[in-house]
Structure 1
Amino acid sequence: MTTTGSTPPTLPETLARLRGAQKGHARGAPAYSVYVNRRIGRLFAAVAYRWGLTPNQVTMVSALHTFAGIAVIATVPPSWWAGAVVAALLVAGYAWDSADGQVARLRGGGSIAGEWLDHFVDAVKIASLHLAVLVGLYRFGDVDEVVLLVPIGFSVVATATFFGMILNDLLKAARGVASTHARAGGTFARSMLLLPTDFGVLCLAFVLWGASPLFLLVYGALFAVNALFLCAAAVKWFREMRRVD
């Protein structure tokens, strides 16, 4: 069904357009991002489009949710309700982050400035989330000082991983080589295997923020898996760069 004149499309029609314009997911995309976050983001994008929001405005909505959650981690004593609020804000922020690109496609394409803003906000949130955990544990947690090294290490790993992915794509594009994360789809098994590296899983882990021992166990395990992933990925990326040379 199509609309005529100036009548705006209905929500189901907008969702149908989004499904038709949806890009394939990157080969390295983990399961939550592909099967959960993208679908929530599609709904948010349809609503944002009907509200007349621009992609950059959607990016800022994402940032408001995300940084509100980060602020709660650093300023509010851990509790079950604080953890639920943090997880909800981070999950919503992540879904809105998926929505901005989908809104851009509905409006006929994005811009370089919009892509820069999206990546800039991502870079800030990736580093500051773990630093907020460090502050929260230091202020409110009865933990050994060694434990405080975990969020510091996680911030380094997350930031280096994000920068490595962006740098790979930039260097390859400059030489006309297909991106490391070309959107060629991927297997379900691969997506599930990479689930612990998914930012969405990290967001959900904050449900346990009020149960410090359990949160630290899950958070520490995610840090270990992400650190191992970065080590393996760095070797792979360097070999790819040598082939490009």
Structure 2
Amino acid sequence: MATESFADSLRRLSSAQKGRAQGAPGYSIYINRPIGRFLAAVAYRMGMAPNAVSVVSAIFTFSGIILLMLLTPSWWVGMLIWFLLAVGYALDSADGQVARLRGGGSLEGEWLDHFIDAIKIVSLPIATAIGLFRFTGLPTAYLLVPLLFAIAGTATFFGMILNDLLKSARRVISSAERGGGGALRSVLLLPVDYGIVCLVYVLWGWPSVFAVLYALFCLAAVAFCLLVAVRWFREMRRIGNEAGGVS
């Protein structure tokens, strides 16, 4: 069990996170991170290890994903799914903050966190497609939308992880470590913010309305994936050239 007070734990986390991840999507910074900070302080006071918090996060997230495939859409099912996904996302932020309170994370903890994220990113849209197929009268062709969402999300996540890996191998500071972008970038990135996408499931009980909004978020995810892929490719070419690599 932690010896410092709950308020002291919160203060320590707030101080450590000032200036971090500037320009990241707005929900993740201004809503999810503070909630995660609160949950991290609670978990720390309970003596939970970061990996245990990651597992609890996965339980909430995948419970919501499973319900998409099992329950007939209704307003309360949509609210429950959103709640499970949102809590899972907040706990996903909390595990790293618990590690910070305990003096630093571990390699296996970082691996576990990314591994769970990889499964979550691809399974949520696939479960959405299954739920729409089982319980709604939407055209079968619409199922291509969540499948395209799965491709865009997976490609973006893999590209981000690969960027960090390659930059780290060449001792190049990543954009996340540098920060920057400001509040405007945070607002512009809201359509590709996982927390905002989770909020769309509140409309799960109204399939036609959900389908329109979900398709717009899918379009944003695809556009973002293509744009950052071009940017990342050029950045890797520049880093390779500076290091004397072959273009």
TM class by smaller structure = over 0.9
Distance apart, 1:7 and its partner CA: 7.6
Question: 1:21 aligned to 2:16?
Answer: yes
**Shift of the alpha carbon at 1:145?**
1.1
Question: Structure 1: which 4+ aligned runs deviate by more than 3 Å?
Answer: none
Distance 1:206 1:7, change over 3 A: closer
1:147 alignment partner, SS class = helix
Residue 177 of structure 1 aligns to a residue in which SS?
coil
User: TM-score, normalized by length of structure 2?
Assistant: 0.94
How much has 1:25 moved relative to structure 2?
3.1
1:119-158 matches, within 5 Å, as 119-158=114-153
1:115-153: CA deviation from partner (whole Å, max 9, x where unpaired): 000000000000000000011011101010110100110
Partner of 1:169: 164
* CA distance in 1 between partners of 2:27 and 2:2 (Å): 35
Identical amino acids, percent of aligned pairs: 55
Q: 2:182 aligns with which of 168, 183, 187?
A: 187
**SS state at 2:175 partner:** coil
Cα-Cα RMSD:
1.3
Contact in 2 for aligned 1:65/1:93 (Cα 8 Å):
yes
1:38 aligns with 2:33: yes
Q: CA deviation at 1:26?
A: 2.7
With the length of structure 1 as denominator, give the TM-score of the two structures.
0.95
1:98-131 residue CA offsets vs partner (Å, 9 max, x unmatched): 0001000000000111000000000000000000
Q: Output the amino acid matched with 1:50.
A: R
1:159 CA displacement: 0.5
Whole-angstrom distance in 2 between the partners of 1:201 and 1:234 = 22
Instruction: State the aligned residue count.
Output: 240
C-alpha distance in structure 2 between counterparts of 1:19 and 1:49, whole Å: 15
Match of 2:47 among 20, 45, 52: 52
How far is 1:188 from its partner?
0.6
Query: Within 5 Å, which residues of 2 pair with 1:55-66?
Result: 55-66=50-61
Does the alignment pair 1:8 with 2:3? yes
Q: Is the 8 A contact 1:83 1:208 kept in 2?
A: yes
Q: What SS class does the counterpart of residue 134 from structure 2 fall into?
A: helix
Task: Kindly provide the amino acid, as one letter, of the partner of residue 32 in structure 2.
Answer: N
Q: 1:199 aligns with which of 194, 197, 215?
A: 194
The equivalent residue for 1:214 is 209
- Structure 1 residue runs of 5 or longer lacking an equivalent are 1-5
Aligned partner of 1:230 in structure 2 is: 225
The alpha carbon displacement at 1:183 in A equals 4.4
In structure 2, what is the equivalent of residue 3 of structure 1?
none
Letter in 2 for 1:53: M
What 5-or-longer segments of structure 2 have no aligned partner? 241-247
